[in-house]
Amino acid sequence: MICVAATTAGIDPDRIKFLATRRIVRRSVTDRAAFPPEPYDMLWARTVHQVGRPRNRNPSRRHRSYPRAVKRTRRSGYRERRPSDRGIRHAGPPTVALLSRHSQARA
């Protein structure tokens, strides 16, 4: 559901909040039991639209500009910081096109 909503909205799936999606899906399932049945296609489209709304998105994050390292490696699994460590600037996140079974079944 998150992948379909993100693809529809044209954003990265990591930007969709998981807990908000879970709340929306639970609400749509329980509402369906209380009222007359709604056609599946309409229910799916309405739920995907609600999941992809801007208020259900995580804020965009900056990319890591320095390697993950610590001053002392006593209890840490990360490597120790070196004087040669320099910041790295990333052009942007890699893009991945996701396909869902639901969209393939409809086509």
pLDDT band at 22 (very low <50, low <70, confident <90, very high): very high
Q: At residue 58, does pLDDT exceed 60?
A: yes
Domain residue spans in the chain?
A: 1-59+94-107
Cβ-contact 73, 80 below 8 angstroms? yes
% residues pLDDT > 70 (the chain): 74
Kindly report, residue by residue over 29-39, the tens digit of the pLDDT. Answer: 777 665 666 67
In sequence order, the β-bridge partners of residue 80 are: 70
**pLDDT, averaged across the chain:** 78
pLDDT, tens digit, 9 for 90 and up, residues 64-81: 666 677 877 777 788 888
